Amino acid sequence: MSQFWSRLTHDLMPYVPGEQPRLVELVKLNTNESPLGPSPRALEAIRGEATDTLRLYPDPRASALRAALASYHRVRPEQVFVGNGSDEVLAHAFAALLKHDAPLLFPDITYSFYPVYCRLFGIAWDAVPLDQAMQIRVADYLRPAGAIIIPNPNAPTGVALSRAEIATLLQQHADVPVVIDEAYVDFGAETAIPLVASHPNLLVVQTMSKSRALAGLRVGYAIGDADLIEALTRVKDSFNSYPLGRPAQAGAIASLQDEAWFQQSRASVIEGRERLNRGLIRLGFDVLPSSANFVFARHPAHEGAALAAALRQRTVIVRHFAAPRISDYLRITVGTDQQIDRLLAELSDILGSP
């Protein structure tokens, strides 16, 4: 069948998403999904859209959702873009803003979709190494760049930059687009959104998949100068004018309106992360300081692949990356207290710990 593929398709190396296994009594800690359900108000709003109006196209501009996001983040609606999950929003940003003569810069250990998008859109890139502590150093980005994209917190490490460090990065690269990918920001990092007002080159991308537990609804968004948002809109309308259905728009708006649920949910995940950190450290793991809903950890006496395989045999699934510098690390999603206890008990048994 490959004889019918385009040259582009032949050359692609697609992103590999986290496994979605179907195992009995599975403890699934590999895809950074929320251990908690969505806001009840969001569920009610989604159900409310299951009516005859589904025969009609949704608002292609998602005007009500953009207005709700603008109000929540204290920006103007024309500074907000929405899409079918933050991955789609990022793809539009790569096409609209990140292809220039000089290379795109991003960390060498980071979200593995970035090089995939570069290959898809023909973007030259340079990977900037993390330091020995697996942290991003803003000073390392003082080099020629056509654009920059950085996740904050970084993935898969979970380590975050401060807003002041991002402001320094923006000042050093005021003449190129800078995208800050904040998929996990609500779990302990500082959002860069307040910097948008003074930095027209800044685009901040967020998602409702993680902290709002709406991964199955697929709602992502970007906030930036109106000129950047217009560029994203031009790409979107050249690709798919209706990326968000009626249930998605309604559910996202309702989630934003349920601030009490949001704060309680994120606090629960942060508490679970600290519980997981303590348990892993007791078992002898080295754990990076995470500001996300996952931890990145390695055991000095055991290979990461072997630990991941041993856990899988016990129906506990974590994420392992067979990549240079991180092949001994496991990325472990923060689950419920019961899931964390199960993971730690299985690891204790595997390691032979008392």
CA angle 241, 246, 251 (to 5 degrees): 125
Domains of the chain: 2-37+260-351 (3.90.1150.10), 40-258 (3.40.640.10)
* Displacement of CA 212 from its chain's centroid (Å): 13
The pLDDT assigned to 60 comes to 94
**Residues 275-330: tens digit of each pLDDT:** 999 999 999 999 999 999 999 999 999 999 999 999 999 999 999 998 889 999 99
pTM of the model: 0.94
Question: Which of 12-21, 113-122, 209-218, 248-257 has the least mean pLDDT?
Answer: 12-21
pLDDT at 1: 55
State how beta strands 147-151 and 104-107 pair.
parallel
Taking a C-beta distance cutoff of 8 angstroms, is the pair 179, 97 a contact? yes
Dist CA 191 CA 162 (whole Å)? 9
Tell me the CB-side half-sphere exposure of residue 20, using CA atoms within 13 A: 4
pLDDT value at residue 140: 97
